[in-house]
Amino acid sequence: MSQRLLNEGDFKMNYIGSTLPDFKVKAFQHGEVQSLTATDLKGHWSVLFFYPADFSFVCPTELGDLAEHYAAFKDQDAEIYSVSEDTEFVHQAWHEQSPEVGQVEYPMIADPAGDLARHYGVLDEDAGQAYRGVFILDPAGAVRSYTINDMGIGRNATEILRTLTAAQFVAEHGDRVCPANWHPGEATLQPGTKLVGKI
């Protein structure tokens, strides 16, 4: 007789294809605080970049890395949104004091109620912090790629950008797929019987 290994509710949601919830948050950008809603994240590609906390250690290196590649993301019609459970005022103070974070020009979303982090399953309720999640959303607000790292594992802006461009290629060319380590301009694959066993 088989034994249940998982309890009810143990299965985690697959976020691919899921869409943005209705939300309204504050964000710090260019020295000002603005309001953002789900509508503001549509009409272009979006990268939601969750991180644990301002005034921490790995986080400024990640936000600085994204800042250095920001122009490349904009060239791909994508906006970066960093997200933590800090308030917009803490974002402002961090931006003004940290050399790394001071480079940031993209919106820094404040999610102190945890609404966005909870929706995407990255909120550590006990710590009140978000795991290191990256969610790439298409212009309709649907998730096309996501990764989630534990608190101490930093990420790579170049790989996020590469994944974004692959997601955009697949969205535009539905009959073709991108192999491992694919970069724009390189060969892609067209699934079919002619390829079976040939790769």
What is residue 194's predicted lDDT score, i.e. its pLDDT? 63
Amino acid at 61: T
Looking at the predicted structure, is the pLDDT value of residue 64 above 90?
A: yes
Kindly state the percentage of the chain with pLDDT values over 70: 89
Contact between 48 and 81 under an 8 Å Cβ cutoff? The reply is yes
For residue 79, list its beta bridge partners.
Answer: 46
Which residues, listed in sequence order, are joined to residue 142 by a DSSP beta bridge?
19
Q: Is there a catalytic annotation at residue 178?
A: no
Q: What integer pLDDT is reported at residue 4 of this predicted model? A: 45
CA angle 163, 167, 171 (to 5 degrees): 170
Q: Where are the domains of the chain?
A: 24-154
pLDDT confidence bin for 185, thresholds 50/70/90: confident
Return the residue matching tokens 């480079």: 103
* Catalytic residue of the set 41, 48, 59, 67: 59
pLDDT (tens digit per residue) in 142-154: 999 999 999 999 9
Topology (CATH) of 24-154 = Glutaredoxin (3.40.30)
**Banded pLDDT at 176 (limits 50, 70, 90):** confident
